[in-house]
Amino acid sequence: MRTQVTKAIFPVAGLGTRFLPATKSVPKEIMTLVDRPLIQYAIDEAREAGIKEFIFVTSRGKSALENYFDHAPELERELRKKGKDDLLHTLRQTNMDSGAIAYIRQHKALGLGHAVWCAHRLIANEPFAVILPDDVIAGEPGCLRQMVDAYADTGGSMVATMEVAPDQAASYGILDVEDTIGPLVSVNGMVEKPSPGSAPSRLAVIGRYILAPSVLRNLRNQKSGASGEIQLTDAIAAEIHQGRNVFGYRFAGERYDCGSKAGFLQATVAFGLGRDDLRKELTAYLNEVIAIRGVAQ
C-alpha cells in the first residue's frame, strides 16, 4: 500500500514585494479574502485532504502568522458570555491541535525550492505536500484532496496544473507533456519561466504539489535557476531525468492568483459573491458600478 500523505509544507517566507507597502508589516498570508486570511483557506484545504502535520517555513516579520494559530481563550470567553455561538464556532474552527504545527525559519529568501528544502529535517522518507497559500483554489472537493486521490494510483510526484494564455507562460513553471489521460498528464520535463515563445506547452504549474522525498535530495544540490532563485520546478524536473515519474494534475476548480493585486481583487469579488450574507448587496453595488462606467464611456 502507498504511504499516505500526512505532512504539508507551507512556504510563507517570501518578501511579498507586490503588496508593498502592506507587506512591510502584514504577512501576505494574513491578508483577508472577505473575512478569512489566505492561510486559513490553505489550512482548510489541507485538512480536507487528510494532512495532519503542518510545517510553515517562515521568515522575519511573520509573527502575526504564528499568532493567528494560537488559541484565543479571552475572546472565546467573551463570545460565550455574550451568547455569540456562531462566532465562537467560527473561531474554534481556526484552532489547531497542540503539536500539529511546526515553524522553520528560512533566513534568506533564496527561492521557493530553498524554502521547501529548509523543512527537510521534518520530512522522513515519505511523500509530502506543498501548498502555496497565495494560490487560492475554489473547488469541491479541494484541489489537494483531488490530487491525493489521484496520487493513490500513480505514486511518483505530482504538480497541480492548468492552462494559461501563451503570453502568461513566462511567469510560470511550464510542463513538457508526454501524454494526457483525463485529468492526469504524464510529464517529460518542466521549464521554469520559459523565455517568450519557448514554452513547451500551455500547462502551468500551480501552487499545489505532492512530492517524493527524493525531491528534497535534489534540492540539497540545487543551484539557483530562473530569477537567480533556487527553483522547486528544477528539483522536480530532475526527478524525471533520474527515471522517476512526475505527473501534472488538471484540477477541477477556480484558481485565483492572490499573490498579484488583480488576482486578489478578483478573488475578493468571487468569494464575496459566493457568500449568502453578502451576495445581494455586493451584486447591487457591482451592477451600479458597471452601469455608471457604461454611461461614462
Nearer to ligand UTP, 72 or 109 (CB): 109
Kindly state whether residue 100 participates in binding ligand UTP, applying the rule CB under 6 A: no
Nearer to ligand UTP, 47 or 114 (CB): 114
Nearest Cα to Cα of residue 208 among 3, 2, 11: 11
Strands 246-250 and 184-192: antiparallel
> Could you say which of 96, 102, 104, 110 contacts ligand UTP (CB under 6 A)?
110
Block residue for cell numbers 503542518: 54
Kindly state whether residue 12 participates in binding ligand UTP, applying the rule CB under 6 A: yes
User: Using an 8 Å Cβ cutoff, are 78 and 194 in contact?
Assistant: no
Kindly state whether residue 244 participates in binding ligand UTP, applying the rule CB under 6 A: no
> Could you say which of 9, 14, 137, 237 contacts ligand UTP (CB under 6 A)?
14
Kindly state whether residue 104 participates in binding ligand UTP, applying the rule CB under 6 A: no
Q: Is the dihedral of CA 116, 122, 126, 131 positive or negative?
A: negative
Per CB under 6 A, which region of 12-20, 46-54, 86-94, 246-254 contacts ligand UTP?
Answer: 12-20
Nearest approach in angstroms of CB 131 to ligand UTP is: 9
> Could you say which of 42, 43, 112, 216 contacts ligand UTP (CB under 6 A)?
112
Q: How far apart are CA 159 and CA 175, in angstroms?
A: 10
Kindly state whether residue 106 participates in binding ligand UTP, applying the rule CB under 6 A: yes
Distance of CA 174 to the CA centre of its chain: 17
Nearest approach in angstroms of CB 296 to ligand UTP is: 32
Nearest approach in angstroms of CB 94 to ligand UTP is: 20
User: Using an 8 Å Cβ cutoff, are 147 and 246 in contact?
Assistant: no
Nearer to ligand UTP, 19 or 271 (CB): 19
40-71: burial string, b at 16+ Cβ within 10 Å, e else: bbbbebbbebebebbbbbbbeebeebeebbee
Other C-beta atoms lying within 10 Å of the C-beta of residue 273: 12
> Could you say which of 87, 88, 109, 226 contacts ligand UTP (CB under 6 A)?
109
Nearest approach in angstroms of CB 23 to ligand UTP is: 8
Instruction: Return the H-helix or E-strand segment holding 264.
Output: helix 261-273
Query: Cis bond leading into 11, ω under 30°?
Result: no
Nearer to ligand UTP, 108 or 279 (CB): 108
Interface ranges with ligand UTP (CB under 6 A): 11-18, 28, 57, 106, 109-112, 114-115, 132-134, 259
